[in-house]
Chains A and B, each alone.
Chain A
Amino acid sequence: MISLVYGIIESPSAALAREAARPAGNGGLGPMAATIAGGTPAFRLNSPGWINAGPDIVQGVAGTQALTEYCRARLLNRVSVFALALRSFLSAYVDFAVAEVERRRDELEARLRALGLPADDGFPTYRDWVFSALLPVPQVHVAMPGDADPVAVDVLFWTGRSALALTLEGRTMPTPRQRRAQEAMLAAHPAMKAATLAVPADGHSWALCELAGHFDGALLPDTGLPFGPYRILAG
């Protein structure tokens, strides 16, 4: 099992201890913590648990585009205002997911038509598949066995089969202790793989196609219907 906390965490060990003492939450994913076991479904933008939002907010974010922007804002809200590279990545990732849905528009509309639904202007629309994109869990600290310190990961994706620990390679070189800690994390969690993505020189042209290659097609699943926006906010 992988236990983690994410977001703006000042004391990862204490946060993990607090989370460990809580009763199990929404299928392993909470607003600042997660547990991943063998049967844990993939973490996606439409997974319940990562956003806590009441009915008042639900009513204020009607429509696919508004909800997409709401998801983007909630992702950015989870990370330090000084994590400029990570913030740029998260925003670019949301744009990439939107573009990926547009690229597959014909295929996705065909799925809706096959179910007798209007392809574009109904509810759901093919655009709603954007919420099926994998959730980039940001600023993660992964618990380690024994007394070892939690290990920091820039972004973690859980595909339902494996976890991808993504390091954004920019201007910060890892220290020897950080290198050893990441090796220990991968050894302790066989379901976890590591990947790196270079921070682009211009700060925003991320090589996200390269990243998508790590997901074995799990970036957008072949679900019959896209899950609608209220599912996201139900947590």
Chain B
Amino acid sequence: MQGAVQKNIKLLSQDTLRGFGGVGEGMSLQIAPDGRRILWIAHEGAPKNFSGVDVSDPRAPRVVCQLDLPHPRMRSNSLEVCGNLLAVAYQVNKPGDKPAGIELFDVSVPEEPRSISFFDTSGPHSRGVHCLWFVDGEYIHASSGSADFVPTHPRDDQFYQIIDVRDPARPRECGRWWYPGTRQGDAAPPPARVRARPLDSLRGPDAFRLHNANVYPDHPDRAYIGYIDGGAFILDIADKASPKVVGSWNPHPPYPGFTHTVMPLFERGLLVVTDECVLDDAEDWPKLTWMVDARLESNLVPIATFPMPPVEEFGHKGGRFGSHNIHENRPGPSFRSEEIIFGCFFNAGVRIFDIRNPYRPEEIACFIPPGPAGSPVPTAQMNEIYVDERGVIYSGDRWSGGLYILEADI
């Protein structure tokens, strides 16, 4: 690809998703009943809901399905497919609007997603669901508001909800946890703001709300959650109705906030914790990816950060620069490694790290596409990443570049 920066990664193909190439934080791979590999992609914003892309031949992806949102004042930033069940997160711009919640689709026929049910989390103070995790076919772990949750700060509206979808036609909430002090009526005082910002927008930083919740079927009693300015938590969810904190770690402050993903490496007693960059022009630099010693859950110890390219080169070249999503070792047709970490870093592209020595993570590959046409910023903004079990890497640009399919020589 002309203008791309690449080290040990080559581009197999790019697809701008029928001109709607803004990719959100949801990418999930289905092996369809007919054997095709369908990559389901959440869009960053309206007008599109989600796309299904046949990536059976990664050199020739083909959009087979693309749905519209019910209205433009909402987004479906996140999704997950498990078997033939697709869960899609709906978040509205303004609390009280609808539809806010989770829609479940049967995607046995990928060209024709069939709605099975809708789990409504709307309410006067709720924007619905920002992010969800669904890998066991039984429970969805979501960042959501609800009708009965009145936050102490308008940006602290999305908390951890566990939704039982064992009967996908009748999803029901079976557990929840929120940061103490973020709900009106809590005994704890509201948390001190890390970097207070005006309330002209509910999106973005200055928030004590959930972003990602990761729960793995072979360790079903643990939830690893990134609570934005509240930091990283390990919850005991053996009793889903009553999650309990077993460990936490928060570098914010003095770091600038927005813990995003907490990924456990079970066979090594480690966590990979990312902070999301949410402001352009390095306004919130540094946004780091951390290596945390979690051998003792109750005493999480940061031991390293992943190397980043120079801020003087990337900080002011346009858009965001810093950590964001990583490939999360999820079950299914997914590459899994506790030694190699794949991440996307907005204008610093896709980067791959060797963490065999966790005290010294080492970058072994990277790919930065040129800024795509139609983007409001001059750089590519790599926003989401998924790696299949063959090692094929799928990553998406936040604004217009759509899907990039890559192969690494690692």
Contacts and interface: CB of A to CB of B under 8 A. Distances in A.
A199 B267 CA distance: 9
B267 A176 contact: no
Interface centre among A84, A171, A177, A199, by most chain B C-beta atoms within 10 angstroms, is A171
B389 interface: yes
B251 interface: no
B246 interface: no
A199 B268 CA distance: 12
A170 B335 CA distance: 12
Interface in A165-214: 170-173, 175-177, 199, 201
Interface in B357-410: 357-358, 360, 389, 391, 408-410
Contact of B218 (A84, A173, A175, A201): A201
A10 interface: yes
Given A81-B295, A84-B267, A84-B268, A173 B335 contact: yes
Interface in B164-219: 218
B337 interface: yes
Q: Is the interface of B mostly helix, strand, loop or mixed?
A: loop
B336 A172 contact: yes
B340 interface: yes
A83 B295 CA distance: 11
Interface residues of B, number: 24
Interface string B300-343: 00000000000000000000000000000100000111111000
A83 B410 CA distance: 21
Given A82-B268, A82-B269, A171 B410 contact: no
Given A82-B358, A201-B218, A175 B338 contact: no
Contacts of A171: 265-267, 329, 336-338
A34 to B, nearest CB: 21
Interface in B262-292: 265-270
B315 to A, nearest CB: 31
Interface of B: 218, 265-270, 293, 295, 329, 335-340, 357-358, 360, 389, 391, 408-410
Given A173-B337, A175-B410, 9 more contacts: A10-B357, A83-B268, A171-B337, A171-B338, A172-B267, A172-B336, A172-B338, A175-B391, A176-B391
Interface of A: 10, 81-85, 170-173, 175-177, 199, 201
16 contacts: A10-B357, A82-B270, A82-B293, A84-B268, A84-B269, A171-B266, A171-B267, A171-B336, A171-B338, A172-B267, A173-B336, A175-B340, A176-B391, A176-B409, A177-B410, A201-B218
